[in-house]
């Protein structure tokens, strides 16, 4: 397990002065990289063997309505691995120890030369700490869309500053675009009760994307992010907004 304190910056706050979900997802990413390195499966460890971690899907939720500016402590740990996927857990605590945000992410290892997934190394399988039934159940990431056509669409152009070490759009931006596509009257005064993200295809800088919004009801939404160049789905996001 890794514990790390993050000093939240002003540029990481939302217009209301609170810490948004996307900021915590960035902390998830940073802490996951550090803990993986401690286990001997960090970016540098894998890259020398032409391997890389690929984030396949994640689920998360905010536990407070408004999270004001403060230092936060994040705990993350490798929960378990199976033949192809590894699950990681996260919990973020405020200065007084109150849980603020939590989530789970699933990762696979890809052979970056062959462009295909590879089996989880045996040594990582031996790191299993938790049994799957001790963890929050994995949500349904393959639920059907609630309507044949979207109610609205947000257009996005990716930028170079959106890219990660692999020269692909960083996973946190898909969530930010999905949240932006939710009508402001839905988001105002509410917290992100649930977030699901499934990653489908890579995107690079300068690509035009469409974020199609499919309301399930007044507080639940599916967001389908596609590349306009070929119509291929890049990510699918579910958001639930609660008071």
- CATH superfamily entry for domain 2-134: Hotdog Thioesterase (3.10.129.10)
Q: Give the pLDDT band (50/70/90) at residue 133.
A: low
Is pTM, for the whole model, over 0.85?
Answer: yes
51-72 pLDDT per residue, tens: 999 999 999 999 988 899 999 9
In this prediction, what percent of the chain has a pLDDT beyond 70?
A: 98
185-204 pLDDT per residue, tens: 998 888 899 999 999 999 99
173: left (phi over 0), alpha (psi -120 to 50) or beta: alpha
In this prediction, what percent of the chain has a pLDDT beyond 90?
A: 83
User: Would you kindly state where each structural domain of the chain is located, as residue ranges?
Assistant: 2-134, 152-242
Helix (H, G, I), strand (E, B) or coil at 150: coil
Helix pair angle (21-38, 171-181), 10° resolution: 160
Per CATH, 2-134 and 152-242 having the same topology is answered yes
State the architecture of 152-242 in CATH terms: Roll (3.10)
| CB-count exposure of residue 205 (10 Å: 0-12, 13-18, 19+) | middle
């Amino acid at each position: 397990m890794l514990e790390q304190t993050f000093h939240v910056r002003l540029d990481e706050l939302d217009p209301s002065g609170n810490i948004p979900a996307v900021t915590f997802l960035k902390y998830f990413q940073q802490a996951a990289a550090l803990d993986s390195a401690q286990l001997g499966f960090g970016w540098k460890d894998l890259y020398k063997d032409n391997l890389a971690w690929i984030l396949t899907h994640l689920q998360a939720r905010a536990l407070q309505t408004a999270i004001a500016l403060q230092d936060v402590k994040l705990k993350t740990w490798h929960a378990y691995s199976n033949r192809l996927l590894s699950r990681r857990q996260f919990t973020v605590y405020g200065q007084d120890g109150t849980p603020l945000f939590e989530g789970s992410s699933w990762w696979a290892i890809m052979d970056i030369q062959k462009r295909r997934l590879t089996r989880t190394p045996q040594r990582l399988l031996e790191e299993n700490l938790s049994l799957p039934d001790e963890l929050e159940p994995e949500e349904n990431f393959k639920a059907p869309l609630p309507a044949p056509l979207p109610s609205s669409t947000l257009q996005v152009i990716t930028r170079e500053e959106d890219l990660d070490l692999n020269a692909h759009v960083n996973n946190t931006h898909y969530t930010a675009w999905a949240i932006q596509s939710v009508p402001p009257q839905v988001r105002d005064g509410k917290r992100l009760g649930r977030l699901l993200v499934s990653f489908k295809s890579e995107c690079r800088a300068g690509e035009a994307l469409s974020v199609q919004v499919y309301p399930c009801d007044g507080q639940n939404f599916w967001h389908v992010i596609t590349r306009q160049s070929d119509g291929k789905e890049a990510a699918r996001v579910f958001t639930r907004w609660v008071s």
